[in-house]
Every structure is written in C-alpha cells, then in structure tokens.
Amino acid sequence: MPERFSRRALLALMSVAWLGGRASARAGTTEQNGAVAPEPLEEIAPGTFVYRAPYELIAADNDGAIANMSLVVGSEAAAVIDTGNSRLAGERMRAAVRAVTDRPVRYIINTHMHPDHVLGNAAFEGQGAVFVAHRKMPRALSVRAETYLAQVERMLGPAAEGTRIVLPETLVDTRMELDLGGRRLVLDAHPTAHTDNDLTVFDSATGTWFLGDLLFVGHIPTLDGSLKGWLKLLDALVARPGIARAVPGHGPASVEWPAASADERRYLEILRDDVRRLIAEGRSMGQAADEAGRSERDRWALFDEFNARNAIAAYHEFEWE
Ligand SMILES: [Zn+2]
C-alpha cells in the first residue's frame, strides 16, 4: 500500500533529520522545564482562536496535531473544539489555551469520532470540563478505538504515552446551546455525511461556524459516511444565513462561507459520477479505486493517501442502488 510505504519513508527521513539535529523546531515540544510547548494559535475573530494543522498524516514530527483545533473564550468560560490525534497534541493545545485565557475550559467539543479530532481528549480530563459530541459519536469511536490507539502507538512511539479514549457523555440529539458568558455556541448534530456523527458549532458572538470535517480546504476530503448524504447536507449548509466565516477541519484557520465549499463539492460530485459510471460499465472495485476521481489528483494535498479509499467507500455505497 503506497500510504504505508510513504509513512515509513517519512519516518526514515525524519530519523535522519533528527540525527542531523534538524528536527529542532518540533523536537522542542518538550521545553527545558518539562512543560509542553503551546501550539501556535491564530485569532480569527475576537475571542476565537484556531490552531491550523499542516496537511500531513500522523507522524513523529507533528505529534498528531494534524487536524485544526479551536478555542472560543466567553466572559465566564472557554470551549475547545477538537483535541488532536494524541494526548501530547491535546497537551500542546491546552498549553496554548492557558497562554491566551485564564477562564476555565468548561466544554471539550468533538466534531466527530476520527482520531485526529478526539485522541487528545485525555489532556483535558479531570479539570472540570464536560465532553460534548453527536449522540452517535461514542459508539462510532468505541468500535474503532483499538485500531486508532494501535496506530498512534505505531506512528508516535514513546510520544503516544497517555493517549487513550475519553468518550463524551453530553450528547447532542439535534441541537444544543452552550453558554460561555456573553456568547452562545449552537451545536447541530447532522445526518450521515463525512461520518455518521458530524457535529457543527456556531459561535453567535462572531458568526464563526466550525464545520469539522464537513469542510475540507486544500486537504482532500475523506469519506467515512455517505457520499450522497454529504452532498445533500452541503446543500443545506450552504443555504444557512448569518455565517461570517467558517473554520474547516483541515485547511486555513478561517475561510469564506459558502465560497470555500466549492472545491469540496466539485471533488465529491466527480467521485460520485465516476464511481456510478464505472459500476454501470461493470468495472471492479479495484478498477474504481484506480480510476475514480483521478482528474482531481493535482488539486489536493494527500490525494494519493485517501482517494482510492474514498472511491472504495463510494463503490460500496452505489453498488446496489
Ligand atoms: Zn474526519
């Protein structure tokens, strides 16, 4: 599998860089006093901060901080949205939060069950925060937990220490509002799209909409739910009024909405049309994995890592329609 090869190649390159002393920028995750270095945050609107993740797979030089993480600060309390792919990534986000505000973190919100959005939860445990997610999230995470944890240990080695599953207990059926003091967060649980447990977070004070992985910008969208469902949901999301800016799960810290969804929609529609055509032509799943979506190859980061998997997921979805 090319993905495994490239990860291994990346690790090999990294150990060379490490030996050469060139990995110092991220190798300095642990400062001399033993505290972790905070992730850099960008303030995209008053009291609204985003750690913008690189377009990378989990690897030793990113600590698993490969999905965007956000912070919203109210007059009484703060909320963190997504926590990274390891306890260390979560610790670095927590350090970033402490550098920005002394308000207590009252809510940890996970936008869905994927490991790069939830495995840093452990860093925020035991500090009075309530963990919040879509009502279907705990089950989706539980059935994948072993696989997710094994992957972190394989990719991060000793830096995976302390990474464990922390399941949310406050669950959103359809909509829930959270009060941070002077600003309300509106959480919406969506039908199956990117996954079966996608949750969006709207900040009423600034009109910022945190879309999790319902929005990919630059990073190829990854499909783990329903392609048809995702396209249908996109229609509803783009029609929502009052959005000043959006924060994608992967991509720039702040983008225009709905303009920033155009590339994702184009990719998903091409994938859908290609897979349907290949099925109609009697082609195999393997052929679909090779061919569907190919015209998009130069337009996305991490295309080779995820496109074939997306095509296979779509093939399963459309095979019997
Ligand atoms: Zn995801």
Tokens of 141: 């995470």
Predicted confidence at residue 12, as pLDDT, reads 37
How far away, in angstroms, is 18 Cα from ligand 1 center? 30
Predicted confidence at residue 33, as pLDDT, reads 55
Superfamily of domain 38-260: Ribonuclease Z/Hydroxyacylglutathione hydrolase-like (3.60.15.10)
Give CA 66 to chain center in angstroms: 7
Judged by DSSP in three states, 291 sits in helix
Predicted confidence at residue 297, as pLDDT, reads 98
Whole-structure pTM value:
0.90
> Hey, where are the domains in the chain?
38-260
Predicted confidence at residue 319, as pLDDT, reads 95
How far away, in angstroms, is 158 Cα from ligand 1 center? 25
Cβ neighbours for 48, distance < 8 A, ≥ 6 positions apart: 70, 71, 72, 73, 203, 206, 208
How far away, in angstroms, is 111 Cα from ligand 1 center? 8
How far away, in angstroms, is 300 Cα from ligand 1 center? 16
Predicted confidence at residue 281, as pLDDT, reads 98
CA distances for 281 relative to 42, 139, 276, 308, 316, angstroms: 48, 37, 9, 18, 15
End-to-end CA distance of the chain: 29
How far away, in angstroms, is 318 Cα from ligand 1 center? 21
How far away, in angstroms, is 114 Cα from ligand 1 center? 5
How far away, in angstroms, is 182 Cα from ligand 1 center? 30
Predicted confidence at residue 187, as pLDDT, reads 98
What sign for the dihedral angle of Cα 97, 100, 104, 109? negative
299 vs 67: CA distance, rounded Å: 19
How far away, in angstroms, is 133 Cα from ligand 1 center? 14
Predicted confidence at residue 321, as pLDDT, reads 86
Strand order in the sheet with 245-250: 175-179, 184-189, 199-203, 208-216, 245-250
How far away, in angstroms, is 75 Cα from ligand 1 center? 31
How far away, in angstroms, is 70 Cα from ligand 1 center? 15
CA-CA-CA-CA dihedral for 135, 45, 233, 231, to nearest 10: -130
Spans of the chain below 50 pLDDT: 1-29, 31-32
